[in-house]
Amino acid sequence: MSERMRTLTEPFKIKMVEPLKVTAEEYRKEALKTAKYNTFLLRAQDVFIDLLTDSGTGAMSDKQWSGIMMGDESYAGARSWEHLESVVKSLTGMEYIIPTHQGRAAERILYSIIGGPDKVFISNTHFDTTRANIEYTNAEAIDIVCKEADDVASFAPFKGNINLERLEQLIQERGPKAIAAVIMTVTNNSSGGQPVSMANMKAVRKICDKHQLMMVIDGCRIAENSYFVKHREEAYSDKSYREIAQEMLNLGDAFIMSAKKDGLVNMGGLLTLKDKELSVKCQNLLIISEGFTTYGGLSGRDMEALAIGLTEVFDGDYLNYRIKSTAYLGEKLKEKGVPVVWPIGGHAVYVDAKKLYNQIPVEEYPGQTLAVDLYIKGGIRTVEIGSVMFGKYDEQGKLIAAEQELVRLAIPRRVYTQSHIDYVLDVFDDILEMRNQKNGYKITYEPQFLRHFTSHFEPINK
Amino acid sequence: MAKINKRSWAEPYKMKMVELLKVTTRPQRVKALKEAGFNTFLLKSDDVYIDLLTDSGTNAMSDQQWSAFMLGDEAYAGSKSYYKLEKAIQDFYGYKYIIPTHQGRGAENILSQILIKKGDIVPGNMYFTTTRLHQELAGGTFVDIIIDEAHDPYNEFPFKGNIDLKKLEVLVKKHGAEKIPYVCMATNVNMAGGQPISIANLKELRAYTNKHKIKVIHDMTRVAENAYFIQQREEGYKNVKIKDIVKEICSLTDGCTMSAKKDALVNIGGFMGTNDWDVFEEARNLVVVYEGLHTYGGMAGRDMEAMAVGIKESVGDHHQKARVGQVEYLGKKMEEYGIPIVKPIGGHGVFVDAKAFLPHLTQDEFPAQTLAGEIYIDSGVRTMERGVVSAGRKPNGENYYPKLELVRFTLPRRVYTQAHMDVIAESVASVYARRNKIKGLKMTYEPKYLRFFQAKFEQIK
């Protein structure tokens, strides 16, 4: 995997720009104080480079914008719906296509039908909203990612794989009847955007067949995963990215997609199914909470843009640019001595803040500290994925820390140039100079759940 | 010599972008309707000439909106576009705290979950399908407290959306005020035919609910259309601007849900508003689960921009005059042809009385469904059944037989011209001329829930 990086040329040129505000460090300190040191509470206009998420933040192509203008806003049977439906049918090979306003709505609909008390969901790793939707039905969500994923610093080609042995064991322990579904998240976001191999997916299919279990593919980054399959799994080197995605999706009984990632759009989601009876149940819920079956909470123009985006995303030049530009940031950071999750995944670089700021105890949130520092030093917005996001308290009110203290630098699709990325790298030089600092942050306000979105912080000065 | 007509309005806008329509032939339409099982919901929009299925999300945006659209800030958190939307809602509606959602039903879901406890009673001025469903799912029971006049299609009372306070009083006495978390007050009542509530009635409601510590939640999807009727019909409001009437309506309530796809002139979007910090805080936590982070709530940044501009445009006096004026024009035209329609003519559509139109059909032969199909075949105009098919079945399997058996002609905002209106009225008149020859339908496929969306029919030979 050591393809040498030369200058990476984008397979597109810029057709529309959005000016950015350049701010000074003093200004940013004030802005952050107002935002209670939570990057989610910053105003977007005070951010120079926004790496908070790759979800819904991509730039659309001129073809997509043209599709936006062609959007058919009819309530029922719109042309834009027919266009989207045919694109998704041909990609997934599934018969029943349900549009939703975004991915979490698709999850909620499916999991509230197949979940419930005493049910178990098994996944390589459940994403945070997925877990929330499952637990909301009083079902249990169990993560069993492969062993290779435990070592964040070493290379393995498919660290997003599920642990097949554990899967068999769990099925024996719980009994197949208790298991609502096996969910394969591709790529595996929560474990660093790591890919899942086709071999692993096929093995899961076989196990599901043996025990008559439902296999759900949560594939908001299915195209990025296809890139890794083509380049790391020998049997697939001659297949196109789209063919690989088609083959993989065909293994599933259901496919859930937040289209805000690999759909290359700012809004949208999908639920697709093979089973008619289940799809009717899902459609009933859809009408209650999302919208009629032929728009599901999306405007006609957004369906049009998605139909085009789902075609563009499998372009070889695009995927090559996408994966390699993410890797560029990660590899350069590693060269500088910044500890990163390895290998670099498809959509983001994850910095190990516990290792970088090893003087700050987890109770003082080293990840949050790094996210704050990146904003103050460079106007860069990132997100903590550590004990702020996943931490819990024990009965004495003591923090039960998350396994890792990471900061995610998610790269929006087709938005930032290499100069922007080089700027981020420069800012890390400042960060490295601060690596021996001892002062972290404490939480001064937190809501009952999903606290990372709205918590308030204060610096601790020792 | 040309006579001077009583032409009372012209559109306060001109066309800047157009969408071409396909003109179909009668044999093509016969075939398309047959394939759609005589259900207008199942027609492809490509086969429709004039689409009056709904006024929801089918509006034409202005150049100002399109221009704002391009400024959409798609940042996940703290988007500039969110702050513009927040300000527009605070300025024009006056609610302190807002939660954006992907559309109105998303706001209804969140609000119902926060305010309603199991066993609660939720009174309202007539039900709406999704609103009632969310109230029921949250454990509440909806009770209709609209005035009796609303149920009579020919009663010309000017404010058929009013609440009967005596009916509310009965509920308070029977269940206790603590069992009533709020009164759900809709401005322009859709199911009553787009009928308004008066400020006088709303003030009485406010006084009564204040006394009993009951909240008033405003289902405000057509608030500006309601305000227009107040300006035209209520004493003391003739010279008050719609903008100010809208603000006054909102000020008499504690919170709101809104499907912005109607009044606010956009194709997608909604929000929940409240003046209560605790409700807001809870909503901000819930919206992340169902919709999206509280600074986008399931809407793209550009859609928040378009909504902020749309809200401002929607409360313009000239805009509403043309909007409601167009509906009135169509209704009057139909009346001139002798077509039986619901009176007074509402704000967002004309409702044709199918029972009176096709008196030779029994309700089991689906007169409104039949009529919607006949109108489509005649001219490619798509309308919607609001009668026995929409009403569905009781839990014991029997059909509900609603008093009103209507075909709804809903007008999208700023989309069709007066010439389109003439085509529609002429088409209905030509179907009316041969009404005696029209045969009814029988249902050949019936889905278990919300059957009107997907049911299929065949013509009775």
- pLDDT tens column, A84-113: 999 999 999 999 999 999 999 999 999 999
CA proximity to A105, closest of A266, A285, A294: A285
Task: Please state the domain count of chain A.
Answer: 2
Name the domain boundary from A284, A312, A340.
A312
> Which of B19, B268, B305, B450 would best serve as a mutation to test chain A binding (most A beta carbons within 10 A)?
B268
Domains parsed from chain B with CATH numbers? 26-55+317-459 (3.90.1150.10), 63-314 (3.40.640.10)
Task: Measure CA A310 to chain center.
Answer: 17
CB count in 10 Å sphere of residue B237: 19
Listed residue (A54, A81, A233) closest to A157, CA to CA? A233
Q: What are the residues whose beta carbons fall under 8 Å from the beta carbon of A84, sequence distance 6 or more?
A: A97, A99, A303, A304, A306, A307
- Name chain A contacts of B299, Cβ cutoff 8 Å: 267
Q: Give A 430-449 residues with CB within 8 A of chain B.
A: 447-449
> What does the block give as tokens for A264?
């290359």
Euclidean distance between CA atoms A89 and A91, whole angstroms: 5
How do residues A108-167 score in pLDDT, each as one tens digit?
999 999 999 999 999 999 988 898 889 989 999 999 999 999 888 889 999 999 999 999
DSSP B301-357: HHHHHHHHHHHHHHT-HHHHHHHHHHHHHHHHHHHHTT--B-SS--SSEEEEEHHHH
Query: What pLDDT is recorded for position B451?
Result: 86
Question: End-to-end distance of chain A based on CA atoms, in angstroms?
Answer: 44
Scan residues 121-150 of B and list those with Cβ closer than 8 Å to A. 130, 133-134, 137
Residues A145 and A166 in one domain: yes
Q: Are residues A220 and A306 in the same domain?
A: yes
Choose one of A282, A312, A342: the last residue of a domain: A312
Average pLDDT over residues A298-304: 96
Q: Look at the pTM and tell me if it is higher than 0.80.
A: yes
Q: Which residue in chain A has the smallest CA separation from B44?
A: A77
| Closest partner CB to A74 (pick from B51, B109, B454) | B51
Q: Which amino acid is at A37?
A: Y
Residue A10 lies in a domain: no
Q: Is the domain of A30 the same as that of A80?
A: no
Pick the residue from chain B with its C-alpha nearest to A282: B449
A16 within a domain of the structure (yes/no): no
pLDDT of A1 > 50? The answer is no
* Nearest alpha carbon to residue A421 among A322, A312, A316, A319: A322
A residues 283..312 contacting B (CB < 8 A):
284, 287-293, 295, 297-302
- Give chain B positions within 8 Å (CB) of A449: 285
Q: Are residues A399 and A268 in the same domain?
A: no
Nearest-CB residue to B453 (from A53, A108, A292): A292
CB contact under 8 A, B268 and A298: yes
Six-digit token string for A303: 């369906």
Name B289's Cβ contacts closer than 8 Å, sequence gap at least 6.
A104, A108, A129, A132, A133, A136, A450
Q: Are residues A327 and A308 in the same domain?
A: no
B459 three-state secondary structure: strand
Is the Cβ pair B78, A75 closer than 8 Å? no
A154 and A283 both lie in a single domain: yes
d(CA B431, CA A436): 84
Q: Is the pLDDT of residue A5 over 90?
A: no
Number of helical H runs and strand E runs in chain A? 16, 16
Q: Kindly state whether residue A429 falls inside one of the protein's structural domains.
A: yes
Axis-axis angle for helices B80-92, B242-251 (nearest 10)? 90
Q: What is the pLDDT of residue A7?
A: 63
Unique residue bearing structure tokens 């005020």: B177
Residue A97 placed within a domain: yes
The stretches in chain B having pLDDT less than 70 are 1-9
Closest residue in B to A109 (Cα) is B290
Q: Are A274 and A94 in contact (CB under 8 A)?
A: yes
Whether residues A116 and A213 fall in one domain: yes
For residue A210, is it within any domain?
yes
User: What is the chain A residue with the closest CA to B410?
Assistant: A75
- Mutation for testing the B interface, residue in A75, A98, A258 having most B CBs under 10 Å: A75
Pair A338, A290 in one domain = no
Interchain pair A284, B450: CB under 8 A: yes
Contacts with B, A 150-179, CB within 8 Å: none
Q: Residue A356 — φ and ψ, nearest 5°?
A: -70, -50
Cβ–Cβ below 8 Å for B44 and A77: yes
Query: Which residues have C-beta within 8 Å of that of residue A239, sequence separation ≥ 6?
Result: A230, A247
Final residue of a structural domain among A312, A337, A361: A312
Block residue for tokens 């394969």:
A184
DSSP A302-346: HHHHHHHHHHHTT-HHHHHHHHHHHHHHHHHHHHHT--B-SS--S
ipTM exceeds 0.90, yes or no: no
| Residues from chain A contacting residue B130 (CB–CB below 8 Å) | 288
Host H or E run for residue B80: helix B80-92
Average pLDDT, integer, range A242-270: 97
- Which residues span the domain enclosing A268? 62-312
Q: What tokens appear for A33 in the block?
A: 């104080």
| CATH number of the domain residue A177 falls in | 3.40.640.10
A423 found inside a domain: yes
Instruction: Report the pLDDT averaged over residues A368-373.
Output: 97
Identify the pLDDT of residue B78: 94
Q: How many CA atoms lie within 13 A of A312 on its CB side?
A: 28
CATH label of the domain that carries residue A339: 3.90.1150.10
Phi, psi of B294 (to 5 degrees): -65, -10
Cβ proximity of A312 and A87 under 8 Å: no
Is residue A241 domain-resident? yes
H or E element: which one contains B287?
Answer: helix B277-290
Q: Does the bond joining A187 to the residue before it have cis omega, within 30 degrees of 0? A: yes
Q: How far is B251 from chain A (nearest CA, A)?
A: 28
Chain B interface includes A366 (CB < 8 A)? no
Whether residue B23 lies within 8 A of chain A, CB to CB, comes out as no
User: Between A242 and A17, whose confidence is greater?
Assistant: A242
Q: What's the pLDDT at A151?
A: 87
- What pLDDT sits at residue B5? 57
Assign B26 to helix, strand or coil. helix
Q: Percent helix, strand, coil in chain A (nearest 5)?
A: 45, 15, 40
B54 lies within 8 A of chain A by CB: yes
Are A288 and B78 a contacting pair at CB < 8 A? no
HSE-CB for A118 with a 13 A CA cutoff = 4
Of the candidates B45, B102, B449, the beta carbon closest to that of A79 is on B45
Q: Are residues A208 and A115 in the same domain?
A: yes
Min distance A123 CA to chain B CA atoms (Å) = 20
Q: Is B415 in the A-facing interface, judged by CB distances under 8 Å?
A: no
B149 residue type, one letter: E
User: What does pLDDT average to over chain A?
Assistant: 94
Residues of B in contact with A413 (CB under 8 A): none
The answer to whether A266 contacts B45, with C-beta atoms less than 8 Å apart, is no
Q: Distance (Å, rounded) from C-alpha A175 to C-alpha A164?
A: 16
If we measure between CA atoms, which residue out of A120, A243, A257 comes closest to residue A181?
Answer: A120
Q: Are residues A76 and A191 in the same domain?
A: yes
Question: B436 CB contacts (<8 Å, ≥6 apart)?
Answer: B360
Q: What is the mean pLDDT of residues A348-369?
A: 96
Are B346 and B16 within 8 A, CB to CB? no
CA neighbor of A207 nearest in space, from A167, A170, A173: A167
DSSP 3-state assignment of B18? coil
What would you report as the CA-atom Rg of chain A, rounded to the nearest whole angstrom?
22
pLDDT greater than 80 at residue A8: no
Cα distance between residue A380 and residue A373, in whole Å: 9
Q: What is the pLDDT of residue A228?
A: 97
Q: Which of A44, A71, A75 sits opposite B54 (nearest CB)?
A: A75
Assigned domain for A17 exists: no
User: Could B83 and A43 be called an inter-chain contact, meaning their C-beta atoms sit closer than 8 Å?
Assistant: yes
| Residue contacts between A and B (CB atoms, under 8 Å) | 154
Instruction: Identify whether residues A447 and A412 lie together within a single domain.
Output: yes
B291 touches chain A (CB under 8 A): yes
How many CA atoms lie less than 13 Å away from A389 in the CB half-sphere? 21
Q: Which one, of B294, B139, B102, lies nearest residue A105 by Cα?
A: B102
Q: Which positions of B are catalytic?
A: 76, 128-129, 219, 262, 386, 452
Give the residue from A34, A36, A43 with the most B CB atoms within 10 Å of its CB, the best one to mutate: A43
Indicate the residue of B42, B73, B290 with minimum beta-carbon distance to A108.
B290
Same domain? A305 vs A320: no
Task: Answer whether A144's CB lies under 8 Å from A124's CB.
Answer: yes
Q: Which residues contact B404 (CB under 8 A, 6 or more apart)?
A: B151, B153, B342, B351, B353, B386, B387
Residue A73 touches chain B, beta carbons under 8 Å: yes
Output the pLDDT for position A2: 43
A215: helix, coil or strand?
A: strand
